[in-house]
Structure 1
């Protein structure tokens, strides 16, 4: 999920190798489902927060933590400030990540008993980061659900005590049943404003009513990410294809493109030619070259479907147009797909929640799990009826825009220099200064807004502090040289200072 980041660590533990940690199962059937609950009393709470991220609830030493569920990373980190955790064990290793907007997650690698639904893992490792500024008060941590190759904690712990196991939480859960399939599924709900119930997350079983996914084609994973090949898009009735820019030396079949499935981001990334095909011909559409984002009229309807093999998967037009800001009483909308910059090495498409809300998705880890031996794959089935979605847009969209303006979640005030400044809290409801109430608001004002708070491009314009923490991933991750979220530092990273150069290493 998160921003292009620098991983850093100081290892001061003795040499040793990791061993298997004890994992035990509490009485329950062989699989666990994180179901929606309408109150915080539900220990399995799976929440849709503003339609910008999806979280689950884990119990850490008996204390509840709402964590962002991210298939684009693998480590677990928690903000434990103000929480008294019992039974924790310090590994003697310090580690963390620094995100490109200056936010950071850092602390001792700690062991503690963690349960998720009916599963319990003893001495699970995580980055203990009390007071981190990466949560923005919207969640308590991040739980990575990606492949082991994206994990940094095992690197931090490679010289730690032999009694410490560095494996991620999901892999430890999979180890309970070595003879069974190791998969997770996501059913993401759609919301307009606020934190809502709806949707489903499962481990090791299929959400009732969606059993057809077991017969869906297996889209083989082709790299160290949840990456597979896509055949085309259908945009406003026309089939659009393109040649792939490739990804880390993978041989992409002619006419196909790469597609990464990432629940940790909201705004999707696509090649410029595809983004142009979606938005360029809309009357009044304007493209910002610096950020690869189209500003479009809020009543614009775009018909987009994905093509994998012989199957077509429609995207709801409500997901293609996103209100991001308010000019007086008027919403300002953008296209939901960001144009990937030239010379990118992250691949062609990166599908976040905009696309994934339209799919029921199964991620099978195969040999990525310690107990697995098969090729990882993805299965998807469509949740969107194209004709119904197209018809209901005319009713749903005005309601969404009205609620968006009323909530005014993105509040921006003017600074003395004329540039917009970020509010100090999400409760700040000051009218946008850079986007004034008069008719003189121009595209240059909008560009200034994006340039000074470009984090908004990935989170559909909600809660600015949450945007800072979450969404820079959508823009910056596309510029990551390695195509990964994080890059490791071979030495300890010094205290953050605006004049301190950041040194990268492979």
Structure 2
């Protein structure tokens, strides 16, 4: 009976998890960690340099593909026997790297879902490992394949799945595990149409509206943090202003992107997290850019707030260990996971990119709503829901002590440096009330030009009149008497001539001689 009960429980467990797509993980080179690459389900070997991926098949050929909520295209690097050719090509550019090649079609299988004639890019750029690929989970409007083909045949894999499975709710969920976590070594899942078993209450979390971007740069899963929505390690809100036009000056715009290992945040946020840590240093690593390095024994607790819900970050995710980096003395150092946003990741439509280090602390549900191709604009708005995963702060602290401090808790001795050590905030957007000066002036530009032209013409007329008047005053006809100033000079010359004659033995004074010490008044030269 006991064996029968155990078997029944195992069978029920299998049924509950049958629709979950397991994510697997692996270690990647340091230089690739910033690449926009996604993952689907992983038994994480997380030491800060992992990608999450799952398997798909294209015409029965298996490809591990990285999941990326920050892009919307499927590509593979390798041969797909029997693939159809659309005669079109496409290129997808990522923050680092690209995929480029012909757009082909093949039968795609993703767990229990099968899609016929799914369009994908056969990557021939040489930038990506052979036999692997990436599946973009972003909105269809951001797809290069869809834009190139310009018809439903170019829809993304998720759009195709949603459209041909009418009974499947139009949402997916992503749970990213943490390999270093000694108490919750859950590997990670990606599900379509239902939540991960045990985390069903994600559907009760606040619905965060997805803000639509209509600037031609592609739609992302983007929403707003709360006002004062980032709490630093000192327990105080981080003071930072959004630079996004009409985006809420005191609320930061965030993109949720499973393809970024290191979340990209405004420099003021990274400074608030790490600059007050003794021994921390902003370091420029080749292939990575500027990032804070800091001692690995420092526990930092920071929190993000969205929809009036707090999302604490696990201290194992605020800094990343086991990267083989050392300081000048050869001591191991960790890397601050929240990186000052790098030039390749910046845009005018958002302030930050919350990647893997954040998403390991928030189980994410993405409802596609009207972003599914062919949906009515009146059907439903897309939204995000986030379930906090690091609610037990005592357990998170215990995990940090076991992993980073070898079980010896000396965190009570740590103190942040005074706030005066923080770098000055050079953000020139602090006085920006959602619009730049040029944007404010632009509607009035025709009036400014017309007014300037009138004023310019009036100024030229005034100058011409002044010049004409000046010339009339200075003009003298040849027979007019000399100015009074000349008489003064002659009289003065006669007096001085008498003195000259006495001094030089009776010689007659010649006022026009080169030896004469006094000459007539000369008017100022005009230029």
TM-score normalised by the chain length of structure 2: 0.62
Which whole-Å CA distance do the structure 2 matches of 1:190 and 1:100 have between them?
24
CA deviation vs aligned residue, 1:145-168 (integer Å, no higher than 9, x gap): 00122111122223xxx8x81111
Are positions 1:208 and 2:197 aligned together?
yes
Which whole-Å CA distance do the structure 2 matches of 1:266 and 1:104 have between them?
17
Alignment CA distance shift 1:344-1:117 (3 Å) = closer
Alignment CA distance shift 1:45-1:294 (3 Å) = closer
For 2:172, the equivalent position in structure 1 comes to 184
Name which of 120, 123, 127 aligns with 1:134: 127
Asked if 2 retains the 8 angstrom alpha-carbon contact of 1:259 and 1:351, the reply is: yes
Which whole-Å CA distance do the structure 2 matches of 1:123 and 1:297 have between them?
52
For 1:21, the equivalent position in structure 2 comes to none
For 1:325, the equivalent position in structure 2 comes to 324
Q: How does 1:219-298 map to 2 (within 5 A)?
A: 219-223=208-212, 224-231=219-226, 232-247=229-244, 249=245, 251-288=246-283, 291-298=289-296
Name which of 113, 122, 130 aligns with 1:119: 113
Q: How does 1:68-467 map to 2 (within 5 A)?
A: 68-80=66-78, 83=79, 85-97=80-92, 103-130=97-124, 132-136=125-129, 140-158=132-150, 165-178=153-166, 180-192=168-180, 198-223=187-212, 224-231=219-226, 232-247=229-244, 249=245, 251-288=246-283, 291-323=289-321, 324-327=323-326, 330-340=331-341, 345=348, 347-370=350-373, 372=375, 373-384=379-390, 385-398=392-405
Asked if 2 retains the 8 angstrom alpha-carbon contact of 1:221 and 1:377, the reply is: yes
Alignment CA distance shift 1:120-1:29 (3 Å) = farther
Alignment CA distance shift 1:145-1:109 (3 Å) = same
Alignment CA distance shift 1:225-1:86 (3 Å) = same
Asked if 1 retains the 8 angstrom alpha-carbon contact of 2:109 and 2:115, the reply is: yes
Which whole-Å CA distance do the structure 2 matches of 1:246 and 1:45 have between them?
32
Report the count of equivalent residues: 355
Alpha-carbon distance, 1:341 to partner: 5.7
Choose between structure 1 and 2: higher helix proportion: 2
Alignment CA distance shift 1:45-1:345 (3 Å) = closer
Structure 1 residues without counterparts, runs of 5 or longer? 1-27, 39-43, 401-506
For 2:53, the equivalent position in structure 1 comes to 55
CA deviation vs aligned residue, 1:191-214 (integer Å, no higher than 9, x gap): 249xx9711110001111111111
Alignment CA distance shift 1:278-1:177 (3 Å) = same
Which whole-Å CA distance do the structure 2 matches of 1:258 and 1:332 have between them?
31
Q: Secondary structure of the residue that 1:65 maps to in structure 2? A: strand
TM-score normalised by the chain length of structure 1: 0.64
CA deviation vs aligned residue, 1:318-344 (integer Å, no higher than 9, x gap): 111113334497433121111136985
Alpha-carbon distance, 1:144 to partner: 0.2
More off after superposition, 365-374 vs 375-384: 365-374
Name which of 35, 38, 47 aligns with 2:22: 35
Alignment CA distance shift 1:31-1:363 (3 Å) = farther
Which whole-Å CA distance do the structure 2 matches of 1:300 and 1:30 have between them?
38
For 1:412, the equivalent position in structure 2 comes to none
Asked if 2 retains the 8 angstrom alpha-carbon contact of 1:57 and 1:116, the reply is: yes
Asked if 1 retains the 8 angstrom alpha-carbon contact of 2:295 and 2:332, the reply is: no
Q: How does 1:16-31 map to 2 (within 5 A)?
A: none
Q: Secondary structure of the residue that 2:91 maps to in structure 1? A: strand
Asked if 1 retains the 8 angstrom alpha-carbon contact of 2:316 and 2:400, the reply is: yes
Which whole-Å CA distance do the structure 2 matches of 1:245 and 1:303 have between them?
23
Alpha-carbon distance, 1:33 to partner: 2.1
For 1:454, the equivalent position in structure 2 comes to none
Which whole-Å CA distance do the structure 1 matches of 2:250 and 2:95 have between them?
34
Alpha-carbon distance, 1:271 to partner: 1.4
Alignment CA distance shift 1:98-1:45 (3 Å) = closer
Asked if 2 retains the 8 angstrom alpha-carbon contact of 1:268 and 1:354, the reply is: yes
Q: Secondary structure of the residue that 1:175 maps to in structure 2? A: helix
CA deviation vs aligned residue, 1:36-64 (integer Å, no higher than 9, x gap): 589xxxxx983256432211111111121
